[in-house]
Chain A
Amino acid sequence: MQTIGRPVPRKEGRDKVTGQARYVDDLIFPEMLYGATVRSAVARGRIKKISFEGNIPWDEFTIVTAKDIPGENCVALILLDQPYLADEFINHPEEPILLLAHPDKHLLEEARRNVQLEIEPLPAIFTLEDSLNRKEIIWGEDNLFKSYKVEKGNVDEVWQSADFIIEGEYETGAQEQLYIENNGVIAIASPEDGVTVWGSMQCPYYVHKALLKLFGLPEDKIRVVQVETGGGFGGKEEYPSMIAGHAALLSWKSGRPVKIVYDRAEDMASTTKRHPSWTKHRTAVSRDGKLLGMEIDFVIDGGAYATLSAVVLSRGTIHAAGPYSCPNVRIKSRAVATNAPPHGEERFAESNKTSRQKKGMGFASFMHGAGFTGSGEKYLESVVGAEATADGRVRILAASTEIGQGTNTIFAQIAAEALRLDYDSIEVAKPDTGAVPNSGPTVASRTCMIVGKLVESAVLGLKQTLSGSGLLKENYTQEDFRQACRSYIEQHGALKSYSKYKAPPGINWDDEKYEGDAYGAYAWAVYVAEVTIDTVTYEARVDDFVAVQEVGKVIHPILAAGQIEGGVAQAIGYTLFENVVWKDGRMINNQMTNYIIPTAADIPPIRVFFEENPYAYGPAGAKGIGELPMDGAAPAILNAIENATGASINHIPLMPESLIEALGGESG
């Protein structure tokens, strides 16, 4: 009974279409308080005084400041530079300073507005130029979170012999992930019982690691449970560690469960966004069309703290030269600090563009590496477990989260296929750090290829144990398998199998020299966009979109196409609609009313085609898919606009006003 490649129903589909799926804001705990965050209005400064004003019964409130933190006041990620609550210095607008909790949500909001902060402002910087020129040093010794250099061949010698040299500078804006469910958690914490957090998140073990340090508790005293999550797109990778810590601190002090769910304005203003970037390409080309050399300078704005900028920069560096063969390459990349809220991971994208209604067509060819970059997977050492249940079914144990992309469904398919069982006989456990091993974060297009492979080998481990103990013969039926599981559990108590990541043979990466195989495998794609430009309104509209990709074996045709269509739609928004407007480091259009994402009326037909070239070390031959579609749409659309108008555009988002400028203001 073949399961891979078939459109089996999504595991949690019925709950989602009937409204029965429970997200964090749908949960109410007895005696629960609501929590709120008092934030800085200033981009950079020093806290002078905090006072509690207004006609508010302050004695009814739980109030937490940095002084109440039992462990270390830092969000443990790569570096330990970001505090949970600012103690003295403020480094970005919306930085959390103080927490409040109360049973009445409405009074809580009143109270939040009545906390007066006196902050002495310090000079702040908001642009890449000011950061690179060290107008102010706001982070470390040089504002530099991380830099990389890649060198191949001899770039300095190619410029003399080149027939053509093409140069360009390209800019991309921040992008709000705009998951429709805002960030939210519920926490129960006490010195006796430790800390438990339920929340909307991509990476339960990131939250676990951060809470360990915040509370200074042993590992088994911290438990993190992912509940149904209403979208992530990279925006719930590192931020949940912050909000989880806040709710837990309030619960620790009040002795009651505390829920914090942001409203849209708070979520948009204070949580991470895609990094703004600036790139300069200088490319030497021969008359017969060969690439002779590339020199690339790539800079991203990381905001006020390091968070995951080094990881994002690393991926950007390795993808910067695109899918082309070129003998001489030099890439220099830097992640720099500004006084904006930290920028985080978002479904990765590169913009590597090379042109009364004007129509045009453009294309882009590109690739996207699956899994953590460089030695990342080696360090993660991900583990997946599988266990037999008492009724002889198989349950997958992994911390990889279902955030809409279909983790539950494809894990069950992979397991069913490997064991030759029905899809329905496989369950996927809820990610709960108290019950599942650390299969790594749900990011970097790694869940299917890397974790899926571990699912495959973990369930095969179950079968091996059953065969080894003589309970399962070579050719078994579904019922034989169930019976074998039941017998094994009767005899031995439990049947479990774990599988740990090992790099495929021949995959090596040198962290020092920054060379080798950065990824086990790449997905490859060619995207084509057709656009119409209205020369009166200067609106660009995508009329048709074709996405052709090779992602290895397609596990689930509908889910896979859904990943591509959703990614292309986000990328169309990124290119033409989604303009984060900044004022002194703060997003000021932090509402859905004025930060516009594509609606059903805006999206062209997105036609998706897969070429399948099975990858030997992916589950059933699959590679990664999630981030791929973000990479190609912007260059395809900008090339189509160049084809239509002759204007070469070098920045996104391309709003009508910038198109007027680019076209010299003439109207059709």
Chain B
Amino acid sequence: MADASRKVEINCKVNGEARTLQVYPMARLLDVLREELRLTGTKEGCGEGECGACSVLIDNVLVNSCLVPVLQAEGAEIKTIEGIASGEQLHAVQEAFIACGGAQCGICTPGMVIAAVNLLERTPNPSEADIRTGLAGNLCRCTGYMKIFEAVVRACQKQNSEARIQNPE
């Protein structure tokens, strides 16, 4: 068993980049991302896995990083909001959030965008019920969710039309 009071070495990939971290094994992944790596796009809303503001992807699985001890990141590929756009080119979900008004105060937005990206990867043509369930772990107090649903639909249409252009039937 690891001694929780002693720092350990963790090797992982964050947004495609290999990282070696000297951290306390039970440190929250959220704090390591924000404080050690200064990736502050991942937000803390509640610290107990209810609000989803701290959502990140670990090996393409959507998790609340406030509930993940960094020990579990050993060997994993982590993706945060900073890794969603390709350079200056926004992801279709990010573009759609801007176009549809899916972001208001913006504090839930990074987590919500990550959840939406993950939803569209798992379910390329989500029904309204799929969208509602897929985002039910991410609380937003500003929008009433309508504009976020619209953004997911818009991003999905864009992705599908691009896929058709690349792979004509």
Q: If the complex has contacts A16-B103, A17-B113, A592-B50, are A562 and B147 also in contact, measured as CB distance less than 8 A?
A: yes
Chain A interface size, under 10 / 10 to 19 / 20 to 34 / 35 or more: 35 or more
Contact A19 B144 (CB under 8 A): no
Report chain B residues within 8 Å CB of A18.
41, 81-82, 84-85, 90, 94
- Could you tell me how many residues of chain B have their Cβ less than 8 Å away from some Cβ of chain A? 54
Residue B148 is within 8 A (CB to CB) of chain A in the complex: yes
Report the separation of the CA atoms of residues A16 and B100 in the bound assembly, to the nearest whole angstrom.
14
Which residue of A is nearest B50, CB measured?
Answer: A592
Query: Within 8 Å of chain B (Cβ to Cβ): is A181?
Result: yes
Chain A residue contacts of B131, Cβ below 8 A = 600
Complex Cα spacing A281 to B109, Å: 43
Asked whether A565 lies within 8 Å of B46 as measured between CB atoms, the reply is no
Decide if B147 touches A565 in the complex (CB within 8 Å): yes
Q: Which residue of chain A lies nearest to B147 when distances are taken between CB atoms in the complex? A: A562
B14 CB-CB contact with A under 8 Å: no
| A/B pair count, beta carbons within 8 Å | 167
Q: Indicate whether B143 reaches chain A with its CB closer than 8 angstroms.
A: yes
- Could you jot down 18 A-B contacts, CB within 8 Å? A13-B103, A14-B98, A16-B109, A19-B40, A19-B80, A23-B43, A230-B43, A231-B142, A264-B48, A406-B104, A561-B101, A562-B146, A566-B141, A566-B143, A600-B131, A600-B132, A600-B140, A606-B144
Q: Which of B85, B100, B106 contacts A404 (CB 8 A)?
A: B106
Within 8 A of B (CB), among A136-193: 177-182
B residues whose Cβ falls under 8 Å from a Cβ of A: 34, 39-48, 50-51, 53, 80-82, 84-85, 90, 94, 97-110, 113, 131-133, 135-149
**Do B40 and A22 touch (CB < 8 A)?**
yes
B104 touches A404 (CB 8 A): yes
Q: Are B100 and A558 touching (Cβ within 8 A)?
A: yes
* Bound Cα distance A135, B36 (Å): 55
Contact call B105/A562, Cβ cutoff below 8 A: no
Q: Are B145 and A603 in contact (CB under 8 A)?
A: yes
Q: CA–CA, A12 to B140, complex, Å?
A: 18
Judge whether A17 and B43 touch: CB under 8 Å.
no
Kindly identify which residue among A17, A233, A564, A599 contacts B139, using a CB–CB cutoff of 8 Å. A599
Contact for B107 among A7, A180, A263, A599, CB less than 8 A: A180
| A559 contacts B by Cβ under 8 Å | yes
Q: A567-B144, A569-B145 are in contact. Are A181 and B139 (CB under 8 A)?
A: no
Asked if A178 meets B141 with Cβ closer than 8 Å, knowing A17-B97, A565-B147, the reply is yes
3 nearest CB pairs, A to B: A19-B41, A404-B105, A230-B107
Contact of B105 with A10 in the complex, beta carbons under 8 Å = no
Contacts of A593 in B (CB 8 A): 48, 50
With A178-B141, A592-B46 as known contacts, state yes or no: A19 contacts B110, CB within 8 Å: yes
